[in-house]
Each structure stands twice: as C-alpha cells, then as structure tokens.
C-alpha cells in the first residue's frame, strides 16, 4: 500500500474515533513531512512495506541537521510516525513498525514557569488591554486550556450553578466552578468591557468577534518584558500556575486533576511546579 493511501485511511480512523480536528491536523502535517522526505530520497512514491528503520533514522537526522528542530519537536514527528505505523501493523499492511526501532531524542527537563498569585496580580496590573486582562484572569483562575477559553461561549456560562462549561480535548466536556475571586472580574468584563459585541464567544474584540491565542501570548510577552521578568510566561504557564497555586493551598491533587480535565494523575503531577524553598519546607517536616 502507498504511504499516502495509508495516511488517508489513518485520518479516517482518527476522525471516527472522535479525535480533535487540531490533533488530526497535527498528525497529517507530520506524516506529510516524512512522506515528502522519503519521496525525495527515492524519487518516487513510497510503499509502506518498503520503509526501513534506516529511512526513519535518516529522517530524524534530517530534522536535526537541515530543519534544525529542537529535541522535543523531533520526538513529536517520531511519535506521529510510530502511531501511524502501529495502525498499519494492526491492519496488517506491514509486518512490524520500523519507527519503533528508533530511540526518542533525549530531552533536557527545563524548569517550567508557574506564577504565584502575587505575580499574577502584578501581571494583571501591568496589562493595559482590557480584553486580554480578563483573558489572563480567566486562564489563571479556571485552569482552562487556551483553546477552551478561546472557544468559550456566552451560553457556556451557567449563572445558576455558578460554573463554566469547557469543551476540552477529544470533544470532552467538563464543568469548572467560577471562583469567588474571578466572579467580580467576569461580571465587570461582560457588562463594561465586552458589552454588546455581536459574537457568541466570551473573549471577543469588536473588530473580529473573537480573541486568538497568539494575540494573548504576544501581549503576555510584552507585559513580562515591561515587568523585567526573565521567564517565558505563556497561556499554558497560566494553566500550570492555576494547578500549582491550588497545590500550595493544600488542595487535593485528584481535585486539581478533575479541574484541569486530565485523564491521568501522572499528567497533573507534571504540571505542578514547586520552588526550592517549598521543597525545603517539605523535607523539614521529617
């Protein structure tokens, strides 16, 4: 079977499994990149059964040497290829997964950013753009993914039950209680800032009727520079800050996991970022 034929059937499989459109796009982009590489090498369309582990190894070197991708990005391309070939093995298009023979690239664990509540307040005081100011508060006090906040609709606000409906990964939904600390900001934003903008989305500008993640991240970068911070604060860092600040207040990790919409506690623990002083305090309790 041609690589491209298998790729389209894999896409069909992911679609009926209700994987998100964003996830499917990512897989297809990664697989197109690999197919382009091997097509150029052999100067013809490639068949799945003709692929070798050497092809995959050469591809990984190409991603490093010519594309100059970081280790984490190279691993993502390898993971996409492995997943596709796993499916090909299940369908008996190939006898084994040649990508499984290639080791992932070692990734150095960087210290991830998690802001304290005081730092979040500083950020809010620095952010002059009123819509993005509320977007920061929404992310920091609900733990929403940026896409969940970006697609949050006015009808998703349940005033009676005091909660928001988040549409998460893989079309999974969850309710997030509205924190007392967020409620005044939400009411002020809807009444005095957002007003009568003709849009179904909560985060909306008068010009476009919505707010992009890129715009929020750009403004976060500008604000952190103004504050003189040497940390990379992104929308995702605000989600991580939400989780870490709850942990600092002794909230149960299981509750934090549910609020974040994680299927696994392991994923949640990777979000939690305690500083050296907090770790020292922890061991001093022995």
Q: 3-state SS of the chain?
A: CEHHHHHHHHHHHHHHCCCCHHHHHHHHHHHHHHHHHHHHHHCCCCEHHHCCHHHHHHHHHHHHHCCCCCHHHHHHHHHHHHHHHHHHHHCCCCCCCHHHHCCCCCCCCCCCCCCCHHHHHHHHHHCCCHHHHHHHHHHHHHCCCHHHHHCCEHHHEECCCCEEEEECHHHCEEEEECCCCCHHHHHHHHHHHHCCCCCCECCCCCCCCCCCHHHHHHHHHHHHHHHCCCCCCCHHHHHHHHHHHHHHCCCCHHHHHHHHCCCCHHHHHHHCCCCHHHHHHHHCCC
Domain 117-283: give its CATH superfamily: Intergrase catalytic core (1.10.443.10)
221 or 269: which carries more pLDDT confidence? 221
Confidence of residue 286 (pLDDT cuts 50, 70, 90): low
Reported as a single tens digit per residue, the pLDDT across 4-41 is 999 999 999 999 898 888 899 999 999 999 999 999 99
Beta strand pairing status for 173-177 and 157-158? unpaired
- Whether residue 95 is predicted with pLDDT greater than 70 in this model: the reply is yes
pLDDT of residue 235: 93
Reported as a single tens digit per residue, the pLDDT across 242-251 is 999 999 898 9
Q: 56 vs 42, 47, 107, 125, 148, CA distance in Å?
A: 13, 14, 19, 50, 35
Domain spans in the chain, listed from the N-terminal domain onward? 3-101, 117-283
Reported as a single tens digit per residue, the pLDDT across 37-82 is 999 999 999 999 999 999 999 999 999 988 888 888 999 999 999 9
The answer, as to whether pTM is greater than 0.75, is no
Q: 262 vs 21, 151, 239, 242, 272, CA distance in Å?
A: 19, 19, 12, 14, 13
Cβ(271)–Cβ(244) below 8 Å: yes
Reported as a single tens digit per residue, the pLDDT across 248-267 is 898 998 999 999 998 888 88
**CATH 1.10.150.130 fits domain 3-101:** yes
If one counts every other C-beta atom within 10 angstroms of the C-beta of residue 240, the result is 20
- Of the chain, the percentage scoring pLDDT greater than 70 comes to 95
pLDDT of residue 86: 96
Cβ(255)–Cβ(127) below 8 Å: no
Cβ(97)–Cβ(85) below 8 Å: yes
CA distance 13 to 11: 5
Mean pLDDT of 150-175: 91
User: CA end-to-end span of the chain, whole Å?
Assistant: 61
């Amino acid at each position: 079977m041609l690589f491209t034929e298998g790729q389209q059937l894999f896409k069909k499989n992911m679609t009926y499994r209700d994987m998100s459109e964003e996830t499917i796009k990512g897989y297809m982009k990664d697989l197109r990149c690999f197919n382009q590489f091997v097509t150029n090498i052999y100067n013809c369309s490639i068949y799945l059964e003709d692929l070798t582990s050497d092809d995959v190894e050469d591809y990984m070197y190409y991603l490093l040497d010519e594309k100059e991708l970081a280790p984490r990005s190279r691993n993502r391309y390898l993971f996409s290829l492995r997943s596709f070939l796993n499916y090909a093995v299940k369908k008996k298009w190939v006898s084994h997964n040649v990508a499984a023979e290639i080791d992932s690239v070692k990734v150095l664990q960087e210290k991830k950013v998690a802001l304290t509540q005081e730092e979040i307040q500083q950020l809010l005081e620095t952010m002059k753009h009123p819509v993005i100011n509320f977007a920061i508060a929404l992310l920091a006090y609900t733990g929403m993914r940026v896409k969940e906040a970006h697609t949050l609709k006015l009808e998703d606000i349940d005033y009676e039950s005091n909660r928001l409906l988040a549409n998460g990964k893989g079309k999974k939904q969850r309710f997030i209680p509205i924190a007392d600390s967020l409620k005044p900001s939400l009411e002020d934003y809807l009444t005095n800032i957002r007003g009568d903008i003709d849009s179904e989305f909560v985060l909306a500008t008068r010009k476009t009727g919505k707010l992009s993640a890129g715009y929020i991240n750009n403004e976060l970068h500008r604000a952190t520079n103004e504050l003189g911070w040497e940390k990379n604060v992104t929308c995702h860092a605000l989600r991580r800050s939400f989780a870490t600040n709850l942990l600092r207040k002794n909230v149960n990790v299981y509750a934090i996991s549910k609020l974040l919409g994680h299927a696994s506690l392991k994923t949640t623990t990777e979000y939690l970022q305690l500083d050296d002083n907090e770790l020292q305090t922890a061991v001093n309790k022995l």
